[in-house]
Amino acid sequence: MSATDGAPAPFGRRLAEAMAAAGPLCLGVDPHPGLLADWGLEDTPAGLEEFSVRALAAAAGEGTLRVAALKPQVALYERHGSAGVAALERLLARARDAGVLTIADAKRGDIGSTMDGYAAAWLDPASPLAADAVTLSPYLGYGTLSATVERARAAGRGVFVLALTSNPEGVSVQHAGAAEPEGAVAARIVAAAAADNARLAEAGDWGPVGLVVGATVADRAAALGVDLAGLRGPLLAPGYGAQGATAAGMRDGFGRAWPQVLATSSRDILRQGPEVGALTRAIEAARAELTAA
Ligand SMILES: O=c1ccn([C@@H]2O[C@H](COP(=O)(O)O)[C@@H](O)[C@H]2O)c(=O)[nH]1
């Protein structure tokens, strides 16, 4: 909440402050079955719970914030139905109590009339699944996300819209149309997001709309006519670590937009578990590498 009027502080400001304080790293919390086994945990809701508690302790234990945000991978909790979702709810609540921003990686997208249900689930402060931000898919048309963007802004929360994803298959959709006057699909999404932020951002802040731009593909943006530096918002960059992207490569690939980048890493850090101390050291190493780049 802002100190003056009781209104929620904008997500863009809260994230920028967290990145300034803790550095540009987001810890992905991805309880893959293989990781759970490596940690000596069962692939059960109780195993997910212990995995989540340890990841959060490494990210923000003993009052020290080591990451700017935590990004739970929703699908890996949903595998266990309502009990898995309950474990996710408790992770979100614990992160809130620890002062860590959360980005629910749910990749939601639907026709307008039902999109509002997803928006309520992930962004309404009263929802048990409320996160500070949620990832969204624009592939039913960017306009289907308008009400969600407005709800996020009103609640001091944010969204990250998939623009250029880190996986090779994304090219077939996101690069399409590059030869047309309106440009590639990705460029149109980035332009629409920038227009929302230009309208909704408060003076001096990032707007509520961030983009997902893979760390592995950032160097393709310029050739597609994508202006990431003009977004006036954060860039969530998966692909650092396990998918092969390096801090130096990301800095070069993102160019002028590098100060907006929140690099997210899951497996590369989590595979150092289960000891919280070893996880903490892996986080510190990634954070130092990113900060130095
Ligand atoms: O383009 C995208 C969008 C989302 N992701 C997600 O990020 C993490 C990456 O995990 P790593 O273990 O660090 O590779 C995962 O949850 C993906 O679903 C992405 O990789 N690429």
Give pLDDT, residue 23.
97
Q: Which two tokens stand for residue 287?
A: 């954070």
Is 107 an annotated catalytic residue?
A: yes
| CB-defined site of ligand 1, < 6 Å | 28, 30, 73, 105, 165-167, 212, 214, 238-239, 241-243, 264-268
Q: Which atom of ligand 1 is nearest to the CA of 30?
A: 16
Closest C-alpha to ligand 1, atom 4: 238
Confidence of residue 225 (pLDDT cuts 50, 70, 90): confident
Task: Record the pTM.
Answer: 0.97
Q: Looking at residue 63, what is its pLDDT? A: 87
Of all protein residues, whose CA lies closest to atom 3 belonging to ligand 1?
165
Over the chain, what is the mean pLDDT?
96
Residue 142: pLDDT band by 50, 70, 90 thresholds? Answer: very high
Is 268 a residue whose pLDDT tops 90?
A: yes
pLDDT at residue number 62: 87
Q: How far does residue 239's CA lie from ligand 1's centre (Å)? A: 6
Closest C-alpha residue for ligand 1 atom 7 = 238
Share of residues in the chain with pLDDT > 70 (%): 98
Domain ranges of the chain: 11-292
Strand partners, 133: 103, 158
CB burial string 16-37: b at 16+ within 10 A, e below: bebbeebbbbbbbbbbbeebbe
Residue 1 CA, ligand 1 centroid: distance in Å? 30
Cα–Cα distance for residue pair 187/189, rounded to 1 Å: 5
Write down the residue that tokens 């309502």 correspond to. Answer: 82
Confidence of residue 3 (pLDDT cuts 50, 70, 90): very low
According to the CATH classification, is domain 11-292 in 3.40.50.150? no
Per-residue confidence (pLDDT) for residue 167, from 0 to 100: 96
Instruction: Return the pLDDT at 5.
Output: 55
- For residue 1, is pLDDT > 70? no
* pLDDT tens-digit map of 100-134: 999 999 999 999 889 999 999 999 999 999 999 99
Kindly report the number of other CB atoms within 10 A of residue 114's CB atom. 10
Q: For the segment 59-86, what is each residue's pLDDT rounded down to a tens digit?
A: 999 889 999 999 999 999 999 999 999 9
Q: Model confidence over 272-287: pLDDT tens digits?
A: 999 999 999 999 999 9
Q: Is the predicted pLDDT of residue 205 greater than 90, yes or no?
A: yes
Ligand 1 atom showing the smallest separation from residue 164 Cα: 1
Out of 107, 175, 267, 281, pick the active-site residue: 107
pLDDT of 195 higher than 50: yes
pLDDT of res. 15: 98
Concatenated DSSP letters for the chain? --TTTSPPPPHHHHHHHHHHHH-SEEEEE---HHHHHHTT--SSHHHHHHHHHHHHHHHHGGG---SSEEEEBHHHHHTTHHHHHHHHHHHHHHHHHHT-EEEEEEEE---HHHHHHHHHHHH-TTSTT--SEEEE--TT-GGGGHHHHHHHHHTT-EEEEEEE-SSGGGHHHHTTTTTSTT--HHHHHHHHHHHHHHHHPPTTS--SEEEEE-TTTGGGTGGGT--STTS-S-EEEETBSTTSB-HHHHHHHHGGGGGGEEEEESHHHHTT-SSHHHHHHHHHHHHHHHHH-
What tens digit of pLDDT does each residue of 6-21 get?
Answer: 668 999 999 999 999 9
